[in-house]
């Protein structure tokens, strides 16, 4: 892949070479890390993957008998899951497409809107999958740097609009991973307005805009109402983060029916398992479970931020379940990561050529797990 772009880096355009297919490099597994650092598996804590520390209590769902249905395929319309999601997100049932996690929704969105020679645009630094699924379709990926760190990693709206002129798909991550920053909804509306008026001026169809709201529940608002004004808006949601069901692999593409249609046509008939659909349906029907998780994480986030700031780690503001910390140099960030890893605490690191190479991203976990992080951090020279 070409070098990552970021704040202060000019807009970069990459085109796939046609040789190697861009591939997501997964985080090392817990078993791998335990073997590498000579630690018991149970002592490893994942501060790198932005999951929630405790699953919701859905024992009654798991204890319910799946026997009659496990030998059959799930219903292809996933009616119960779709109804629960439609109610939870405040949209129509015909606007919901269940997928195997948000990642499948991203892939299907790329399949629906991108072809060989298409152009996809994203504000970077951001979640790596947008580039990967775009380039896998043979599209060029235009990486538009976000504003500087000092300006809060915001969207550079004029630059985004310029880059998106004639593009087929625009990717946004709201709140953004890995910076944790949240764009005010009126700024997203402003960008969509610009894209629509540019398209009208040019006599072309406006680009599809996919907004990945994997972390939306932590902020308590959504861009979904904007689909009334911008019909080519696709909002991507997941049960993996605030709902604490990453292992179930359930997400959604949410869009007006005419925009959802092409995405739906690429989905395998039953990519969400019967068990996962039942768990997700129950989780969506019991919003108090996610709300309690979000509140617990907010408390722990404040504590982690305060305790780690006190020893000289520099946090960027966060409203989500992870915090980006800045260090004095990429070398100090790397040494801190290694010192944490030796104690079984796994941070998210960034490669030396990444604009956030001097940062570590840490997931907010349970009180006891965070205690271990704070204790370990106190013993590492800042």
Ligand X SMILES: Cc1ncc(COP(=O)(O)O)c(C=O)c1O
Q: Which residues here bind ligand X, judged by CB under 6 A?
A: 50, 101-103, 127, 173, 177, 212, 214, 238, 240, 246, 251
Write phi, then psi, for 237 (nearest 5 degrees).
-125, 165
CB of 17 vs ligand X, minimal distance in Å: 26
DSSP H helical segments within the chain, as ranges?
30-37, 59-63, 67-70, 79-89, 101-113, 129-136, 157-164, 185-202, 216-219, 257-264, 274-285, 287-310, 330-342, 367-378
CB of 37 to ligand X, least distance (A): 23
Residue closer to ligand X (CB basis): 210 or 337: 210
Closer of 305 and 363 to ligand X (Cβ) = 363
Of 143 and 206, CB closest to ligand X: 143
Question: Which is nearer to ligand X, 50 or 293 (by Cβ)?
Answer: 50
Q: Which residue is nearest to ligand X (CB)?
A: 101
Residue 173 or 206: the one with the smaller Cβ distance to ligand X is 173
In angstroms, rounded to a whole number, what is the distance separating the alpha carbons of residues 96 and 353? 38
Smaller CB separation from ligand X, 206 or 260: 260
For ligand X, which is the closer residue by CB, 46 or 256? 46
As to burial, measured by CB atoms within 10 angstroms (0-12 exposed, 13-18 middle, 19+ buried), residue 185 is middle
- Shortest distance (Å) from residue 102 CB to ligand X: 3
- Under a CB-based contact definition with an 8 Å cutoff, are residues 4 and 13 in contact? no
Task: Give min distance, CB of 68 to ligand X, in A.
Answer: 28
Residues 6 or more apart whose Cβ sits within 8 Å of residue 272? 74, 78, 81, 98, 99, 100, 249, 250, 280
Which residue is associated with the tokens 């006891």?
A: 368
Edge-first strand listing for the sheet containing 314-315: 314-315, 322-326, 359-363
**How near is the Cβ of 203 to ligand X at its closest, in Å?**
34
Q: How far is the CB of 251 from ligand X (least distance, A)?
A: 4
For the CB of residue 378, give the shortest distance to ligand X in the complex, in Å. 28
Environment class of 332 (CB within 10 Å of its CB; exposed 0-12, middle 13-18, buried 19+): middle
Phi first, then psi, for residue 122 (nearest 5°) are -145, 155
């Amino acid at each position: 892949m070409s070098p990552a772009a970021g704040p202060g880096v000019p807009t970069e355009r990459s085109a796939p070479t046609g040789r190697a297919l861009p591939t997501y490099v997964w985080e090392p597994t817990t078993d791998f890390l335990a073997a590498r650092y000579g630690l018991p598996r149970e002592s490893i804590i994942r501060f790198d993957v932005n999951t929630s520390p405790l699953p919701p209590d859905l024992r009654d769902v798991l204890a319910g008998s799946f026997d009659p249905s496990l030998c059959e395929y799930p219903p292809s319309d996933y009616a119960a899951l779709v109804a629960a999601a439609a109610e939870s997100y405040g949209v129509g049932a015909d606007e919901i497409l269940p997928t195997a996690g948000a990642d499948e929704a991203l892939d299907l969105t790329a399949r629906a809107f991108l072809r060989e020679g298409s152009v996809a645009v994203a504000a970077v630094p951001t979640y790596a999958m947008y580039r990967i699924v775009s380039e896998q379709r043979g599209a060029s990926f235009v990486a538009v740097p976000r504003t500087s760190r000092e300006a809060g990693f915001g969207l550079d709206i004029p630059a985004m609009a310029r880059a998106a002129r004639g593009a087929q798909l625009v990717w946004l991550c709201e709140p953004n991973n890995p910076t944790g920053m949240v764009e005010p909804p009126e700024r997203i509306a402003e960008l969509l307005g610009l894209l629509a008026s540019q398209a009208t001026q040019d006599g072309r169809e406006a680009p599809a805009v996919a907004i990945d709201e994997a972390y939306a529940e932590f902020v308590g608002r959504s861009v979904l109402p904007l689909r009334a004004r911008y019909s080519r808006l696709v909002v991507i949601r997941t049960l993996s983060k605030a709902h604490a069901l990453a292992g179930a692999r359930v997400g959604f593409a949410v869009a007006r029916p005419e925009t959802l249609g092409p995405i739906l046509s690429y989905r395998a008939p039953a990519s969400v398992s019967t068990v996962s659909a039942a768990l997700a349906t129950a989780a969506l029907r019991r919003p108090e479970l996610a709300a309690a998780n979000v509140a617990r994480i907010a408390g722990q986030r404040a504590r982690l931020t305060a305790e780690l700031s006190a020893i000289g780690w520099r946090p960027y503001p966060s409203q989500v379940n992870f915090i980006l910390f800045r260090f004095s140099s990429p070398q100090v960030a790397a040494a801190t990561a290694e010192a944490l890893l030796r104690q079984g605490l796994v941070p998210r690191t960034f490669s030396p050529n990444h604009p956030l190479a001097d940062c570590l991203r840490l997931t907010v976990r349970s009180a006891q797990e965070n205690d271990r992080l704070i204790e370990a951090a106190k013993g590492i020279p800042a």
